[in-house]
């Protein structure tokens, strides 16, 4: 049933992107994050909702697309929340904190704790594109990603 779950997530994302408007929150990524595309990746916020059952917290979805061989520069995520990476298409090579480098395929996910270092985030393929949905639960207004110098 993994294929059905991926199709449902893709349909959900497609609806959010088409809906735009209130669901799209540009504060979800900083200008610095949106500008990082030179290494074969692009980042686009797709939704942000304040959580009524968790006052002061927002759930934010960010779509990350990697060209074949593309990667993101080393970065850190907010210490004011956690993030789940969910692979939509292709395969993503990822390393969180001091853990091992792992390859995640479509339908697989991982959790990054508050303040996680993300030194490796890349397309595992040199020939096929890859996409992931990063879902953050963090304090309202938190800078979700900071790129390392």
Domain extent at residue 49:
2-147
Following DSSP, what letter does each residue of 29-44 receive, concatenated?
S-HHHHH--TTTEEEE
CATH code for the domain of 29: 2.60.120.10
Instruction: Show the CA angle centred on residue 134, arms to residues 127 and 149, nearest 5°.
Output: 80
- Report pLDDT digits (tens) over 15-35: 433 333 333 333 334 434 444
Token digits of residue 64: 């990350």
Residue 16: the pLDDT is 39
Q: Do the beta carbons of residue 62 and residue 29 sit within 8 Å? A: yes
What percent of the chain is predicted at pLDDT more than 90? 69
pLDDT band at 39 (very low <50, low <70, confident <90, very high): confident
HSE toward the beta carbon, residue 92, CA cutoff 13 A = 28
pLDDT single digits (tens) 65-100: 999 999 999 999 999 999 999 999 999 999 999 999
- Provide the number of structural domains found in the chain: 1
Cα 76 from Cα 83, distance rounded (Å): 11
pTM as predicted = 0.76
pLDDT of residue 27: 37
The pLDDT score that the predictor gives to residue 3 is: 53
The predicted structure's pLDDT at residue 41 = 87
Instruction: Write down the pLDDT at residue 92.
Output: 97
Q: Is residue 49 scored above 70 in pLDDT? A: yes
Euclidean distance between CA atoms 85 and 13, whole angstroms: 14
Residues in the chain: 149
């Amino acid at each position: 049933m993994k294929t059905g779950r991926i199709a449902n997530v893709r349909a959900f994302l497609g609806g959010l992107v088409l809906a735009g408007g209130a669901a799209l929150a540009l504060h979800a990524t900083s200008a610095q994050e949106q500008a990082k595309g030179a290494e074969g990746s692009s980042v686009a916020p797709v939704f942000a909702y304040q959580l009524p059952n968790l006052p002061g917290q927002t759930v934010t979805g960010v779509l990350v697309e990697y060209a074949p061989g593309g990667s993101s520069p080393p970065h850190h995520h907010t210490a004011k929340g956690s993030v789940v990476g969910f692979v939509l298409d292709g395969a993503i090579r990822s390393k969180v904190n001091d853990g091992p480098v792992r390859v995640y395929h479509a339908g697989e996910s991982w959790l990054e704790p508050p303040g996680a270092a993300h030194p490796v985030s890349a397309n595992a393929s040199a020939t096929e594109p890859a996409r992931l949905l990063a879902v953050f639960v963090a304090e309202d207004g938190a800078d979700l990603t900071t790129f390392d110098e």
